[in-house]
Amino acid sequence: MRQRLFLFLLFCPLWVFAAKDSTAVFQGYSGGMMVHAGYLFGDNPAAVLPSGESLSSQGLTAGIGGSLRINLKRHLRVGCEGFVSTMNSQLTNQRNYLQSGSYVRTGWGGVLADACWRGERFWPFIGGSVGGGAMHTLAVAEGREEDWLPEESAVLHKQSFMYVNPYAGIDFCLTPRVHVCLRVDWMLAFAKRSIVHPTGPRLYVGFMFCH
């Protein structure tokens, strides 16, 4: 119930912006690729390393993905997006315990909607996306990735989740058809039987091609 209320409060203002405008409904589309970097939070109390510490999923993460939007009326944009993000062992707060080759990889995708104010050179926007994804964790506590020997102390785990992702950003219009997009978001993930939630901030930058 709380998730439904949050989604209603998130997307309702976007439809209000569109309803107040009397111009043509379809006003073009845009899409492109973005790279991102951020910080992922999470602890797994069910997995314990040989050092006695619980397996952590906190650290720097980076990845790539893209989005596609359809412009409706003057302010409303709807579309879809998909991304993948990887956090390597040397970028976590347990880099002294995890061996090289350990990682946490998160992939997600869903539908989005945002309100965009289209100026001459700058297009600020605010909105959100909803969807699902999966997080794969490989934690090697002892061993080497250079050899072909079985590792005796490792954790492999896959977890599916749903998410709500509020975001804000701005497009810099290089030309009417090419924009540089900057975006920040904070993923809010939830699942019925979850151990680690892929929650945290990310900064995106990329090119959007408009028509």
Q: What is the pLDDT along the chain (211 residues), one digit of tens a residue?
A: 544 444 444 545 444 444 444 456 877 889 999 999 999 886 666 666 666 666 666 888 999 999 999 998 888 999 999 999 998 877 776 666 777 778 889 999 999 999 999 888 999 999 999 999 998 888 887 777 777 777 777 778 888 899 999 999 999 999 989 999 999 999 988 887 766 677 889 999 999 999 8
Structure tokens at 97: 């315990």
Maximum separation of any 2 CA atoms in the chain, in Å: 67
Give the count of beta carbons closer than 10 Å to the beta carbon of residue 134.
Answer: 13
Give the count of beta carbons closer than 10 Å to the beta carbon of residue 200.
Answer: 23
At residue 18, the pLDDT reads 42
Q: Which fold has domain 2-210?
A: Porin (2.40.160)
Structure tokens at 184: 């920040």
Question: Phi, psi (5° rounding) for residue 20?
Answer: -85, -10
Stated pTM of the model: 0.80
At residue 24, the pLDDT reads 67
At residue 47, the pLDDT reads 65
